[in-house]
Structure 1
Amino acid sequence: MNVLHFINAFFSDGAHWHGYDGIPTRVVEHIQYSLEALLLAAVIGLPIGLVTGHYGRGGNTLAMTATAGRALPTFGLLVLVVTWLGFGLGPVMIPLVVLAVPPILVTTYEAVRTVDPSSVDAARGTGMEESKILFQVEVPAALPLILSGLRSAAIQIVSTATIAAYVGLGGLGRYIIDGLYQRDYEKVVGGATLVAVMALATLAVFWAIARLTVSPGVRRPA
């Protein structure tokens, strides 16, 4: 049997569309985990990236922090946190947030640093406060790159949130973990397909957000 056959069999089976293990339920759970992790990562990464980018300090420290964060094995960190804190949603959030903070932090820093210095100097010359310079001059110009960092983090989270199933939670990883345990490869392929589709949907969502929020004057081609 080929992959296409497994995909067709999985999605054409009505039992996969109903109940606590149905596709709608698992998709909602996966979205919930992903949104919570992205929100937490943004709350941590955006303010630090904006402030350090505005003042031009801490670039080397941010780069080292990002490198260290990306080097950590997500699954290994999950096992360590679960061993320490026990099961639950909290231990799952920690490795997902650690995974997502570096691209948000570094990209936000670089986005602010690449804003045309003449615009910043002109705003400062008119007596504009530093906070207003940041949010009224730098952020609008840096928004395309800032959104690209958030998009990268979101895709990584969506693709990795399947680890929640390892500690007994739901989400699309449930199909992959249960399918491997049961040797039900139809379920494994179906779950992997859903994760891939959700990652593509995430790209589409951020494209729409960029179209709505970024000024046409600073919008960059994809």
Structure 2
Amino acid sequence: MRGERRLERLTWRRLTLLPAFVATALLITWLWFRGADLDSIARNALAGGNVGVRLRQHIELTALSTFFVLVIAIPLGIALTRRSLRKATPFAVAVANLGQAIPSLGLLVVLVFSLGIGPGTAVVGMVVYAVLPVLANTIAGLRAIDPGLVEAAKGIGMSPLGVLGKVELPLAVPLILAGVRNALVLNVGTATLATFIGGGGLGDLIAAGITTQRMPVLVLGSLLTVALALIVDWLASLAELLLRPRGLEGTS
């Protein structure tokens, strides 16, 4: 019954509208490329499966950085809402804010001096840049819970870990998932800058299009980045609907 209710939230429009739009845009782009008169420089930039390799690298950078964001931000957000560490919350949020206050390209350049050039440095920079939404939403979601519910759970003999797992986290899930969704989209965009520190990704196509002044290469790299961001946001929105706890179906 619970599963059926969750599946009912996935209307045909949610499931098909955005993927159909993205697929149509990619099909139009593919047809345009088939008819385009590409010179040798543009063909070399796209040859040898280079587009597929860059797309795979971009997805890997996004997935890996988001994984580390979740591993760091959610446990830290939980810890900062416990009584013993609440006083440290403003400091931790201020540090997380620094990650987004610094321009993303500048942050990557600073990290190069200490970590060197490569995908690993790009992942570290993306994690620093995207940790704030998940951390802030985890803290906000847990703080928004009615203290009476927590006290009632303790009153029936639940342990602190039980209260966290069965009461607090389920109620905070919507806000946490919203933060994860923001972090995913941020990481897709930030991953394009990995090209400047040898991290690969679709940014390589965009940079190649700019440096060689080949508009088709630039358009393809940009369009694939936008398409990936839209698909990632769509998948995250479906996850929000499916993982929203029962009893919160009416909230948006």
Aligning the two structures, in what range does the TM-score lie when normalised by the shorter sequence? 0.7 to 0.9
Alignment-derived partner of residue 17 in structure 2: none
SS at match of 1:36: helix
SS at match of 1:183: coil
Q: Note the C-alpha offset of 1:130.
A: 0.7
1:45 aligns with 2:73: yes
1:166 aligns with 2:196: yes
SS at match of 1:127: coil
Counterpart selection for 1:21 from 29, 50, 55: 50
CA separation of 1:121 and 1:182: change in aligned 2, threshold 3 A: same
- Superposed, 1:68-79 pairs within 5 Å as 68-79=98-109
1:123 aligns with 2:153: yes
Q: Note the C-alpha offset of 1:110.
A: 0.6
Q: Comparing 164-173 with 177-186, which one deviates more in the overlay?
A: 164-173
Counterpart selection for 1:104 from 134, 137, 150: 134
Pick the structure with greater CA Rg.
Answer: 2
Matching residue's letter, 1:12: F
Q: Note the C-alpha offset of 1:149.
A: 0.6
1:213 aligns with 2:234: no
CA separation of 1:9 and 1:183: change in aligned 2, threshold 3 A: farther
C-alpha root-mean-square deviation of aligned residues, in Å?
2.3
Task: Give the paired residue count.
Answer: 216
CA separation of 1:68 and 1:127: change in aligned 2, threshold 3 A: same
The unaligned stretches of length 5 or more in structure 2 are 1-24, 36-42
1:91 aligns with 2:112: no
Q: Comparing 140-149 with 51-60, which one deviates more in the overlay?
A: 51-60
1:187 aligns with 2:250: no
The unaligned stretches of length 5 or more in structure 1 are none
Matching residue's letter, 1:86: G
CA separation of 1:87 and 1:13: change in aligned 2, threshold 3 A: farther
Alpha-carbon distance in 2 for matches of 1:212, 1:98: 28
Matching residue's letter, 1:92: A
- Native 8 Å contact 2:93 2:136 kept in 1: yes
Alignment-derived partner of residue 114 in structure 1: 144
Counterpart selection for 2:177 from 116, 141, 147: 147
Cα deviation code 1:31-67 (max 9, x no counterpart):
1000100111111111010122243713322332232
Matching residue's letter, 2:225: V
Structure 1 residue ranges (4+ consecutive) displaced by more than 6 angstroms after TM superposition: 14-18
Q: Comparing 133-142 with 209-218, which one deviates more in the overlay?
A: 209-218
With the length of structure 2 as denominator, give the TM-score of the two structures: 0.78
- Native 8 Å contact 1:179 1:187 kept in 2: yes
Alpha-carbon distance in 1 for matches of 2:179, 2:245: 18
Q: Note the C-alpha offset of 1:17.
A: 7.6
Alpha-carbon distance in 2 for matches of 1:109, 1:9: 44
Q: Note the C-alpha offset of 1:9.
A: 6.8
CA separation of 1:86 and 1:67: change in aligned 2, threshold 3 A: closer
CA separation of 1:67 and 1:86: change in aligned 2, threshold 3 A: closer
Alpha-carbon distance in 2 for matches of 1:54, 1:111: 13
